[in-house]
């Protein structure tokens, strides 16, 4: 069974969550995006004989589907108001414009997608951001709850508009986000930091709320995609 190394040891894969410590601590979920070889072969074949504008459009859709749409920011809730003026409220959608020069380079040499595939996969997790940062008094229990919720949303056994009893809104948001974006759960990995191992041994544990404070800090310097707290 393979694990992905990080600076503190190993990231736990989807089928390894039962090995997480039962102590209190913080955790961070990561998602490993890939360009499937089958889809690269397919897009290269589709580009043959197409006009330049069509090629750019196809490459744009390919990159969004397999990479950029997976990590798109959620819409902002915005309000515009002024003195003696109407108030406007609504959602502001995130909009990513792919650089035309970037697309043109791929259009001229689409086989570069194979090397991009390798580089992106090999750069994980060192050059990737966490998509969720959380805390728990029992890391194993919390991570298995995440897994259960994602599995249930994926099997449509939980209504997307109904809160699951015993789960907070952030857990719900994470599970719905993973399933709604079409993320493959087997590409989810989690890093854990348990205070019993890393803090108690250093005799630095001054109270029982370190996980609350550390999660607070990390959410504000990392801005994960889901469950910001």
What's the pLDDT score for residue 101?
A: 96
- The pair of structure tokens assigned to 20 is 């997480």
pTM attached to this predicted model = 0.84
Q: Which residues of 68-91 are buried (b: 16+ CB within 10 A; e: fewer)?
A: eebbeeeeeeeeeeeeeeeeeeee
pLDDT recorded at residue 119 = 97
**3-state DSSP of 159-221:** CCCCCCCCCCHHHHHHHHHHHHCCCCHHHEEEEEEEHHHHCHHHCCCCCCCHHHHHHHHHHHH
Give the three-state DSSP class for 13: strand
The answer to whether the CB of 187 falls within 8 A of the CB of 29 is no
Residue pointed to by tokens 């707290």: 229
Whole-number pLDDT of residue 157? 64
Q: Which residues contact 88 (CB under 8 A, 6 or more apart)?
A: 79, 80, 81
Q: Give pLDDT, residue 156.
A: 83
Cα separation, 192 vs 27, whole angstroms: 4
How many CB atoms sit inside 10 A of residue 175's CB? 27
Domain boundaries, the chain: 4-32+125-222, 37-122
Mean pLDDT per 10-residue section of the chain, whose length is 229 residues: 47 95 94 96 93 95 95 88 90 90 96 97 94 94 95 78 58 92 96 76 57 91 86
List alpha helices for 48-92, DSSP H: 52-63
- For residue 159, what pLDDT is reported? 56
> Which two tokens mark 228?
């910001």
Helices and strands counted in the chain (H then E) = 8, 7
Report residue 74 CA to chain centroid gap.
12
The residue assigned the tokens 């570069």 is 112
What is the pLDDT, as a whole number, of residue 99? 94
């Amino acid at each position: 069974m393979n694990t992905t190394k990080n600076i503190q040891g190993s990231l736990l894969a989807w089928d390894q969550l039962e090995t997480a410590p039962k102590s209190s601590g913080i955790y961070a979920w990561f998602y490993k995006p890939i360009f499937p070889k089958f889809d690269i072969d397919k897009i290269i074949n589709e580009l043959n004989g197409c006009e330049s504008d069509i090629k750019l459009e196809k490459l744009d859709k390919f990159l969004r589907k397999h990479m950029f749409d997976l990590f798109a920011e959620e819409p902002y809730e915005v309000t515009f108001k002024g003195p003696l003026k109407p108030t406007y409220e609504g959602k502001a959608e995130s909009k990513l414009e792919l650089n035309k020069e970037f697309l043109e380079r791929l259009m001229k040499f689409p086989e570069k997608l194979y090397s991009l595939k390798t580089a992106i996969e090999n750069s994980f997790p060192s050059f990737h951001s966490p998509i969720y940062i959380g805390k728990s008094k029992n890391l194993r229990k919390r991570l298995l709850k995440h897994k259960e919720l994602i599995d249930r949303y994926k099997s449509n056994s939980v209504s997307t508009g109904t809160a699951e009893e015993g789960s907070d809104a952030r857990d719900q948001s994470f599970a719905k986000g993973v399933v709604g974006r079409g993320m493959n759960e087997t590409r989810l990995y989690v890093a854990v930091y348990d205070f019993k191992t890393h803090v108690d041994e250093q005799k630095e544990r001054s109270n029982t709320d370190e996980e609350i404070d550390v999660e607070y800090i990390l959410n504000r310097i990392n801005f994960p995609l889901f469950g910001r707290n």
